[in-house]
Amino acid sequence: FWQNYFSLGLDAKVAAHVDHSRSRTRCGKRCFSWGCGKFCYAWQALLHAFGCGELDRQLCRLRSTPPSCEPSLEDIPLEHRPKQFRQLMLVNINSYGAGQQVLPRPAEARQLPAPGDGLVEMLSLRGVLAGLAVFTGIGRPRYITTSEAVAFTVSEGQFMQLDGEPWHLSVGCDVLVEPHRKVLMLLAPAQARFWRGHINREFWGPDEGCRKEGLARFSTVAEGEEEQDDAEGAGLGLSARHQGGAG
């Protein structure tokens, strides 16, 4: 299950090597303990990002459920499918990878992104240079579509990550991403120092339905039932299921 983003390919590969360095090497542990984690990411990107395989040759039957349609998956039209890309992202957040702006511009998106709308934005990156452009703020990923659910087949092993937790799947698989449930998330106060630019509090404005549900659950907790604490700020819990296949 994830709430912010799911990706496979280039950035997931780098994140996996960063995770290994941070948890299993002395240099990586010291780098993060000194607050220099971005240097570790940059170094691992130099070592492992180049030569990453093209995902368009590995993904079969890329399908999605458009907003406000019958709950069935449709093949994404060829004219909208990305070509020669090495990273695929499904995003439900306005800040990606330490503050990068990845959401589509209003003129590009099928509808304005929101964390509690039950939809995810599908994006792709062509390669390392495109990723560098996003990292420096002079470019954005290519917007593919906005969808209620996404399904595809990966023909061989691939790096993946959920909300920054990476892993490597050694064989091909079928992937299905669909909404699981709505949750309430902590929302920093308006005076918090990190609200700036596209990282704004308004994006995380609470959904009215979630607010009412949260108030009802708070009332239940007050009556003595055990429940985890929630706070306002609408989010979307999504599940990504994969079924292994022959690699």
β-bridge partners, 173: 154, 244
Given this model, what pLDDT does residue 230 score? Answer: 39
* Backbone φ/ψ region at 9: left (φ over 0), alpha (ψ -120 to 50), beta: left
Given this model, what pLDDT does residue 206 score? Answer: 62
Given this model, what pLDDT does residue 78 score? Answer: 52
Residue range 160-175: mean pLDDT, rounded: 93
Digit-coded pLDDT (tens) for 117-160: 889 999 999 999 998 898 888 999 999 989 999 999 999 999 99
Digit-coded pLDDT (tens) for 17-57: 999 999 999 999 999 999 988 889 889 988 998 888 889 88
Phi, psi of 237 (to 5 degrees): -90, 125
Structural domains of the chain in order of their starting residue, each with its CATH number: 5-13+52-182+236-244 (2.60.200)
Strand order in the sheet with 59-65: 74-75, 59-65, 149-154, 173-184, 234-244
**Mean of the per-residue pLDDT values for the chain?**
81
